[in-house]
Every structure is written in C-alpha cells, then in structure tokens.
Amino acid sequence: MSKMIEYEDASEEVRAVYDDIRATRKTEYINNFWKVLAQHPPTLRRTWQMVKEVMTGPGELDPLTRELIYVAVSVTNGCEYCIASHTAAARTKGMTDAMFGELMAIVGTANMTNRLANGFQVEVDEIFKR
Amino acid sequence: MSKMIEYEDASEEVRAVYDDIRATRKTEYINNFWKVLAQHPPTLRRTWQMVKEVMTGPGELDPLTRELIYVAVSVTNGCEYCIASHTAAARTKGMTDAMFGELMAIVGTANMTNRLANGFQVEVDEIFKR
Amino acid sequence: MSKMIEYEDASEEVRAVYDDIRATRKTEYINNFWKVLAQHPPTLRRTWQMVKEVMTGPGELDPLTRELIYVAVSVTNGCEYCIASHTAAARTKGMTDAMFGELMAIVGTANMTNRLANGFQVEVDEIFKR
Amino acid sequence: MSKMIEYEDASEEVRAVYDDIRATRKTEYINNFWKVLAQHPPTLRRTWQMVKEVMTGPGELDPLTRELIYVAVSVTNGCEYCIASHTAAARTKGMTDAMFGELMAIVGTANMTNRLANGFQVEVDEIFKR
Amino acid sequence: MSKMIEYEDASEEVRAVYDDIRATRKTEYINNFWKVLAQHPPTLRRTWQMVKEVMTGPGELDPLTRELIYVAVSVTNGCEYCIASHTAAARTKGMTDAMFGELMAIVGTANMTNRLANGFQVEVDEIFKR
Amino acid sequence: MSKMIEYEDASEEVRAVYDDIRATRKTEYINNFWKVLAQHPPTLRRTWQMVKEVMTGPGELDPLTRELIYVAVSVTNGCEYCIASHTAAARTKGMTDAMFGELMAIVGTANMTNRLANGFQVEVDEIFKR
C-alpha cells in the first residue's frame, strides 16, 4: 500500500543506503521496509545505521541469538511485518523448527508471567536489586 | 506489599511446588513471585509447571539464550519485577555486561523498527510469506 | 508526587465533579486520580462522565463483572495505579480471593496465547469471520 | 499462511490433544490456532492444558465471564486472531450485542484511564495498598 | 467484516450523532469506525462526544498538532485502522511528507529509549520529580 | 539503583558523548539515563546520536511539538522514567498546564479508540488507503 522507492528512482543518498544494505547482506534483494522508509531519507539512513551496527557489528551475541531476540520483541508487540521478516531472517541464520517452537513457548510464558507479576503486585526481592 | 505465603504456613499443595522449585533450581531461596502466587495454589502450580518445562526442560536453546529472550519480552512490556528477576537470572547463567548491553541495543532497535513498520504501513514481502 | 486539588481549593467546576463522585459512590473519599486530574478541569469532567456512565450506568453486565474487566485491562497494560485502585474496587463489589486468582490466571493465559497467535502467524478461521 | 497439521497427518501426541479438545468442547471442529501450534507438539500440549484448566475447570467465575475477560485482554493487545476467536466463543456462551457493546466501552475506558494515571503520574492512595 | 449501520437504517439516536459528525467535519462522509460503533449507540454517542471535544474543541494545541499526537499513539499501539484514518486526517490538516517522516522518527526513537530506560532500570532524577 | 558512570570515571568515548550532550543542551547536567547507558558505550553513543538528530536536528516540527509526541509515546507505553524526563523537557520548551492537560486528553482518547477499532474489528475505509 505504502509507496516504495525503487533504486532507479532513488536519490544519491538513498542509493548509498541501498548499496550498503546489499553489500552488508550479500544479496541484491532490498526488502519493502527499506524501500518504504526511503520516503524519508534521514530516517532510512539512521535506521539502517542502527540496525546494521546492532545486528551485524562485532559483539558477544551470535547472529542467530540476535535474531531470536528480535523476533521475541516483534511477537510481543504484535508487529506483523517484523514477525514475518525477522522469522525469515532467523531461519536463514539457522533457526530450526524446534528452536522456533521453543522461542514461542518462552515468549508466551514471559508474557504470561509479566502479567501475573503486575496483577499480584509482587515486590522486587532485595537480592534482585543491584 | 502483596501477601506472601511462607513454607511454614503453606498447604501441602503449595509446599510441593516450593520443594520442586528448590530441587530444580538447586537453591533454598524461593523468590517473592512464587510466594505471592501461592495465594492461589492452582495458578502457582500451573505457572511453575510451565516455567519449569519451558526454561529448564530439554531443547535446542541453551539456558542463557532462554533467559535473554525472557528479559527481552519483560523489557518490552515494562514489567519491573520480571526485568529485575530475569536479568539477575541471566547473569547467573553467564550474561556478561557486554551481552546485557547488546541485548538492550537489540530490544531498543526492535521496538523502534516495529513502530516504523506500523507507521509507514509496510506490506509484507512475498518472500517472507511461507 | 503530582499536585492534587483539594475540595477547599477547587473551582466550582471541579467541586461539581467531586460532589457527583461522592453522591454516585456514596463515600466522602475522593481518590488521588480525580484530585490530580482536577489540574485540567475539562479532562476531569469528561473522564468522570465516561467512567460514571460505563461503570455505574444501566446495562447487562453487573458491577463486579465490569470491575473484573477493568482489572484485566489494567494488568495487561501494567498500570500500577489502576491495578491497585480497581482491584480494591473489585473486592468492594464482591471479588473473593479465588475469583482474583482465576482472573489473574485468565489474564496471564490470554497474554500468552495472544503472542502464540501472533508469532505462529495463525490465519483467522472462516467460521470466526462474521 | 502458517502450516496446519491435520488429524490425518498428526503424531500420536498431537492426536491426543485434538481428541481432548473435541471431547472438552463437544465439537468436531479444531480451530486453526491448535492446528498451527501442532508444529511444536510440546507447546500445543502445554498451551491446551493451560487453556483447558483455566477456561473450563471448576471455579467461581462462570464461562461467559471468563470469555469476556479473555476478549478484554485480546482487544487491549490488538491480537486479531484472538479477538475473532474469543468474541465468537463469548457469543456461543451467551454474550448479547448489548453485552459486547458494554464490554468494549469498559475496555476503551480502562485503556484511556490507564494512560491518564501514567501521564499525570498519580500516586497510589494509601487505602489501596494492602 | 463488521456490520455497519447506514443512515437509512439508523435509529434517531444514531442519526443525531451522524448529523453532528457531518456538521462538525463539514463532509457528508461518515467513516467506517462510526458506522460500526453504531451497533452500540451509547458507545457511539460517548465516543464521538469525547473525540469531538478533545480534537475540535477550543484549546492551546492546534488541530495538526492534535492529529500528530493521535498518530503517535496509534502507531505505538499498532492499531491499523487508527493509523490509516488519523494519518489521512493529519494530511488533510497540513501534514507534509517531511513532517510525517519526522513524526515517525520521533515515535520510533521514543519507543527505543522507553525500553532502554526500562531495561537499564534507570532511576528518575530528583530534578524531574515535581 | 543502576550503576551510573560519572564524568571523572568515564572513558574517552563516554566523555565525548557527555561533552556533546552538554554542548547541545547548553547545560552542565547529564541526566541519569545517559549515565546509566554509559555502562555500554556503543549503546550510549548510538542512542545519543539518534536522539540528538531526531530531537534537535533541522526539520519542520518545532522543538515543543517533538517533545509532546515523545511524551505521548512514553505515556502510552507507561515508561515512568521517560514520562518524568520528557514532561520536564516539554515544560522547559514551553508546554503550559493547559497544553499538558490537552495532550493527556488526546493520548487517553486515542488509547480508547484504538481499542474500540480493534475490538469492533473495523475495516479500513477505501479512502484511507493510499
């Protein structure tokens, strides 16, 4: 529905981001999210910079773990696009059917216990306070 | 604030859960969450059963990864108790300061892009549809 | 922390709302929520009007059921003030400890299955479409 | 979109859950949610067990009240599938058009006042602290 | 999907609301939201009254600013209908493509930092406490 | 509760961010959020960069409008820290008591109608689809 900016029609600034996405991900495919964000080039540039550093930069968490966390957040928020795209990304990075099932089980359980802690008005234990 | 049921005052049903928590976690400490849930024994029993299976049962995701996912959900929901308790649990299972920082960066980024996808009304790419 | 407007210091407009709260609830006590909202009289007036009609007006749902629903929403959103005040209101209207435990169990379960439906990307059944 | 496991193709473990759903609900129909969850049998089994106990087990809240609470949570979270399926279930259990309208009015009002309490930073009254 | 009540089929009470919407907005068009809410006339009447006063009544915030705030909330909650309708309304009131991009950037950033503040368990500064 | 990194104890990388915060905001005060984020320098640096560009960079929305939007998101999410800090920031930039009241009224109303649209399953009007 939303207007997408194709490479051919993109400004220099937008093309530079598309080129970097392609180089970083080693694929020609630019997914809809970026083509729609290109409507507002500064948001495209800043968002890609953040996602690139956080998801592909050096760090102690491996790429699959990062995607599992991304999916967990997206599922909790009910973001249809992000669930679809990051579940696909997680599979590309090695997520098996069993891992996906376990991920969903944890996300569901955490959403349940979050509300039980809220509703029962549980006080934080002293030992959990740093 | 909420009433907590101590072992001494607990019914047989509640004690059985407390005993299983202690045996499973290899610690005498029962945290406030369970002592408050003990106000309603069936909820205590069912919740512990779910948490136990999902967080300590056999599976492909290792214990630390499971806790990182739990923290990601709790932070997204803003559940103070769950953030405090599961961050502590994650540290016990090996989460370093760097891992925590990376986890927060991913959770923050996902919460940002979830809203960008919503607000820009991005259509799901065909390749992400299974 | 937030400034509260006491009856003595209130304008005519605010006093009229306070009087109506007292008459409707048959109590002298005005809880903090209303005294803080009184900072912005139109918001106080409109909010009380809505709450009064929805929670105490004629209808098919009895007063206790209405409060249980209010608590369910407040727990899902993690609103500390609303959880405390509406749990107290529900008890006044007859909520037993067992009912509270059952309410929490349903709220927790629904929050869990909401995310499972999101994450597994379940299609709505034809029979559920009106 | 998501793969659904039909009875004919299901493992013993999954069939046992399907049989129990049918027996408990007194209908041959298995809705999509369960057929998709069957991709991960332990999640199917645990989720059904939780939903069955919480929604159909003995308790003080009647079946319709339980469904109204379920709908309230699902609407607050914006879970399309759960709204559709539990609204249908509530109607089966006796929810009239008027009840549905009142339910929506309460859910909307609670979502409004939850934010007013957050935004005005209202302190919890001493009398609401147990 | 949901049943919509057209003017021809509406009761006196519903027609009065439709007439007021048309007069207030200076357009013949009644959007789906109101036609669906008309299923429950008291909810239609109260909701319109609230929206009318808050969005078109006298005040210090101009109409465009009010719509930007409405979109910000709707995007944060992921409400598809509200995002579509209020984005359209904001454009009618003068929102440019650049403003929309900036709005999305702020909404995304706030959703990110909200979680960083939660997850890092940041204490409120004394100077921010009134 | 969370550890805060003071300027004296900060690394070069962290000091550079603190210096930029001070220069940009024209105040010596560094609020807790940044001092806690300094635990993970890359997150501090990236988050500040994003906030700085989005909130103080050139654009069509004025500084006060940007803060109102930030508060609207924070209130919707129930982030206590962000509500306190951005409400204070908005006041510094000119938000009056009346504006704050109107802002809360809009945020409350939007949160209400978001759920009414969800719950009544309203279809998006053709005219709202771009």
Q: What is the reported pLDDT for E2?
A: 87
Contact partners of C by the rule of 3+ C-beta pairs under 8 A? A, B, D, E, F
D98 in contact with chain E, both atoms CB, cutoff 8 A: yes
CA angle D115, D118, D119 (to 5 degrees): 85
For residue F130, what pLDDT band results from cuts at 50, 70 and 90?
low
Distance from CA of A115 to the nearest CA of C (A): 6
- Average pLDDT for C74-85: 98
Q: What number of other Cβ atoms are within 10 A of residue F59's Cβ?
A: 20
- Interchain CB distance below 8 Å, E83 and B118: yes
Indicate the pTM of the whole model: 0.98
Tell me which residue in C71, C104, C113 faces A116 most closely, judged by beta carbons.
Answer: C104
- Average pLDDT for C103-128: 97
Sign of CA dihedral D26, D32, D38, D43: negative
Q: Give, as one character, the DSSP assignment of residue B61.
A: S
- Interchain CB distance below 8 Å, D3 and B130: yes
Q: What is the reported pLDDT for F95?
A: 98
The predicted-structure confidence for F30-79, as pLDDT tens digits, reads as follows: 999 999 999 999 999 999 999 999 999 999 999 999 999 999 999 999 99
Give which of A26, F57, C59 is closest to E105, Cα–Cα. F57
For residue A2, what pLDDT band results from cuts at 50, 70 and 90?
confident
Provide the CA A106 distance to its chain's centre, in angstroms: 17
- Interchain CB distance below 8 Å, A97 and D40: yes
The predicted-structure confidence for B13-65, as pLDDT tens digits, reads as follows: 999 999 999 999 999 999 999 999 999 999 999 999 999 999 999 999 999 99
Measured between alpha carbons, how far is C5 from C8 in angstroms, rounded to an integer? 8
D111 in contact with chain F, both atoms CB, cutoff 8 A: yes
The answer to whether F121 touches E4, Cβ cutoff 8 Å, is no
Contact partners of D by the rule of 3+ C-beta pairs under 8 A? A, B, C, E, F
For residue B2, what pLDDT band results from cuts at 50, 70 and 90?
confident
Q: What is the reported pLDDT for A1?
A: 59
Q: What is the reported pLDDT for C130?
A: 66
- Interchain CB distance below 8 Å, D107 and F119: yes
Chain A partners within 8 Å of C102 (Cβ): none
Query: D95-111 as b/e, with b when 16 or more CB fall inside 10 Å?
Result: beeebbbbbbbbbbbbb
Q: Average pLDDT of chain E?
A: 97
Chain F partners within 8 Å of D112 (Cβ): 108-109, 111-112
Chain E partners within 8 Å of F123 (Cβ): 1-2, 32, 81
The predicted-structure confidence for F88-128, as pLDDT tens digits, reads as follows: 999 999 999 999 999 999 999 999 999 999 999 999 999 99
Distance from CA of F105 to the nearest CA of C (A): 6
- Average pLDDT for E63-71: 98
Question: How does DSSP assign A29-72, residue by residue?
Answer: ---HHHHHHTTSHHHHHHHHHHHHHHHHSS-SS-HHHHHHHHHH
Q: What is the reported pLDDT for B1?
A: 58
Give, rounded to a whole angstrom, the gap between the first and last alpha carbons of chain F: 48
Element (H, E) at D117: helix D97-119
The predicted-structure confidence for F11-29, as pLDDT tens digits, reads as follows: 999 999 999 999 999 999 9
Q: What is the reported pLDDT for A130?
A: 66
Q: Which stretches in chain D have pLDDT values below 70? A: 1, 130
- Interchain CB distance below 8 Å, C46 and F105: yes
- Interchain CB distance below 8 Å, E73 and F74: no
- Interchain CB distance below 8 Å, E73 and F117: no
Q: What is the reported pLDDT for C90?
A: 98
Contact partners of F by the rule of 3+ C-beta pairs under 8 A? A, B, C, D, E
Please list the alpha-helical segments (H only) found in F1-130: 12-25, 32-37, 41-56, 63-77, 80-92, 97-119
Contact partners of B by the rule of 3+ C-beta pairs under 8 A? A, C, D, E, F
**Phi, psi dihedrals of residue E29, rounded to the nearest 5°:** -70, 125
Element (H, E) at D56: helix D41-56
Q: What is the reported pLDDT for F1?
A: 58
The predicted-structure confidence for A44-64, as pLDDT tens digits, reads as follows: 999 999 999 999 999 999 999
Q: What is the reported pLDDT for F36?
A: 98
Q: What is the reported pLDDT for F2?
A: 87
**In A, residues 17-56, which contact C (CB 8 Å cutoff)?**
none
Chain B partners within 8 Å of C108 (Cβ): 43, 47
Q: What is the reported pLDDT for D1?
A: 59
Q: What is the reported pLDDT for C116?
A: 98
The predicted-structure confidence for A108-126, as pLDDT tens digits, reads as follows: 999 999 999 999 999 999 9
The answer to whether E118 touches B75, Cβ cutoff 8 Å, is yes
Which CA distances in Å does B96 have to A119, B65, B68, F35?
Answer: 31, 13, 11, 19
Give the contacts of E78 (CB within 8 A, at least 6 positions apart).
Answer: A77, A78, A79, B114, B115, B118, D78
Q: What is the reported pLDDT for F60?
A: 98
Q: Which residue of F has its CA nearest to A126?
A: F1
Q: What is the reported pLDDT for C1?
A: 59
For residue E130, what pLDDT band results from cuts at 50, 70 and 90?
low
Q: What is the reported pLDDT for B112?
A: 98
The answer to whether A61 touches B99, Cβ cutoff 8 Å, is yes
Element (H, E) at A108: helix A97-119
Measured between alpha carbons, how far is D118 from C81 in angstroms, rounded to an integer? 8
- Average pLDDT for A61-74: 98
Q: Give, as one character, the DSSP assignment of residue E26.
A: T
